[in-house]
Amino acid sequence: MSPTEQMHNKIMTAETLSSMLQQWQGEKVVFTNGCFDLIHRGHIDYLSKAKTLGSKLFVGINTDRSVSKLKGSHRPLQDEQSRLLIMASFLFVDAVMLFDEDNPYNLINAVQPDVLVKGGDYIRENIVGYDIVTARGGRVVSLDFLLGYSTSAIEKKIILDNNK
């Protein structure tokens, strides 16, 4: 299978999700989610650490509509298909899927991960899906951010540089 085919096979839809989850039975599944608009060093650090918590890493990605609702009408900077493909290209990511709701609760419920991961700015008990994962005996982990790296900081730098 070519690298391009491998990448596209990681992109899940409502139709392919169930089959993939059946193939993953017995695996320790880690779930995280986000906009992942401009990939930066902080994302790489975060996602690679998340992968070490299990054997499969599933990443939920906000649709363009939900990113705009969360971040404002100026976002996303990259369309959802581009963000999906970029995320699927990482070796440490095993599956990606878009979600259009305000939060990934329904996707977490469908995936039923063993480990739920978010960034260090979240209190574990307040992380969406905490109830789903802990009810099954799973773990909810809040990973520290790599300081100085964020999409918002990059966006501000671009705006400042353009206004000089």
| Cβ-Cβ contacts under 8 Å for 114 (sequence gap 6 or more) | 28, 29, 30, 54, 133, 136, 138, 139
Nearest to 129 by CA among 138, 150, 39: 138
Please determine, for residue 122, whether its predicted confidence score (pLDDT) is greater than 90: no
With cut-offs at 50, 70 and 90, classify the pLDDT of residue 2.
confident
With respect to CATH, is domain 3-14+25-162 assigned 3.40.50.620?
Answer: yes
Residue 27: helix, strand or coil by DSSP?
coil
With cut-offs at 50, 70 and 90, classify the pLDDT of residue 135.
very high
Please determine, for residue 121, whether its predicted confidence score (pLDDT) is greater than 80: no
The whole-number pLDDT of residue 123 equals 82
Highest-confidence segment of 63-67, 141-145, 148-152? 63-67
Sign, CA torsion 85/42/141/106: negative
For residues 121 and 145, the answer to whether their CB atoms sit within 8 Å is yes
**Which spans in 32-139 are helix H?**
41-51, 64-71, 80-88, 105-111, 130-135
Q: Whose structure tokens read 């520290």?
A: 144
Mean pLDDT within 3-28: 93
Please determine, for residue 24, whether its predicted confidence score (pLDDT) is greater than 80: yes
Amino acid identity of 12? M
The whole-number pLDDT of residue 6 equals 86
The whole-number pLDDT of residue 145 equals 72
Q: Where are the domains of the chain?
A: 3-14+25-162
Q: Whose structure tokens read 């878009």?
A: 98
With cut-offs at 50, 70 and 90, classify the pLDDT of residue 155.
low
The whole-number pLDDT of residue 47 equals 96
Q: How confident is the model over 54-105, as pLDDT tens digits?
A: 999 999 999 989 998 888 887 888 999 999 999 999 999 999 999 999 999 9
The whole-number pLDDT of residue 159 equals 63
Mean pLDDT within 140-159: 70
| Cβ-Cβ contacts under 8 Å for 45 (sequence gap 6 or more) | 146, 149
Residue count of the chain: 164
Whether a cis peptide bond, with omega within 30° of 0, leads into 113 is no
The whole-number pLDDT of residue 157 equals 64
- Output phi, psi for 119, to 5 deg: -75, 165
